[in-house]
């Protein structure tokens, strides 16, 4: 295994970690949402779930952006750099708007 393969492996691992964080927390929040449907403080509980889900999405997106940055080190081409720039911009905007939404909730 050479250095490029090792870096690719790290990039894939980080990407999968980010996806797992988002998926697992989405599943947990969905299960809690179903439980909260039958509770009295529905609005307060749903707002706390939105806060938890938003934070986990931002956390997972950080791993995915890190994975893309590491991957761009291996595939140094202008097209991959442009693609990375667009992906990072989209994810940064998504994180920004998620943070704005979370500040409204809390």
pLDDT (tens digit per residue) in 26-74: 999 999 999 888 877 777 778 888 888 888 888 898 898 888 888 888 8
- The answer to whether 65 and 94 have CB atoms below 8 angstroms apart is no
Q: CA–CA separation, 63 vs 50, rounded Å?
A: 20
> Residue 93: pLDDT above 90?
no
> Residue 105: pLDDT above 80?
no
The most distant pair of C-alpha atoms in the chain lies apart, rounded to whole Å, by 58
Q: CA–CA separation, 85 vs 32, rounded Å?
A: 36
- The answer to whether 78 and 31 have CB atoms below 8 angstroms apart is no
> Residue 15: pLDDT above 90?
yes
Mean of all residue pLDDT scores within the chain: 85
Q: CA–CA separation, 17 vs 56, rounded Å?
A: 12
Q: Taking residues 14-21, what's their average pLDDT?
A: 96
> Of residues 15 and 97, which shows the higher confidence score?
15
Q: CA–CA separation, 67 vs 53, rounded Å?
A: 21
Q: CA–CA separation, 56 vs 76, rounded Å?
A: 30
- pTM of the predicted structure, to 2 decimals: 0.78
């Amino acid at each position: 295994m050479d250095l490029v393969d090792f870096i690719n492996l790290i990039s894939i691992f980080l990407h999968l970690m980010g996806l797992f964080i988002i998926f697992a927390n989405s599943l947990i929040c969905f299960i809690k949402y179903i439980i909260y449907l039958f509770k009295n403080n529905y609005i307060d509980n749903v707002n706390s779930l939105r806060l938890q889900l938003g934070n986990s999405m931002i956390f997972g997106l950080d791993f995915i952006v890190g994975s893309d940055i590491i991957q761009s080190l291996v595939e140094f081409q202008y097209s991959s750099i442009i693609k990375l720039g667009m992906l990072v911009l989209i994810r940064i905007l998504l994180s920004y708007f998620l943070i704005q939404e979370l500040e409204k909730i809390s």
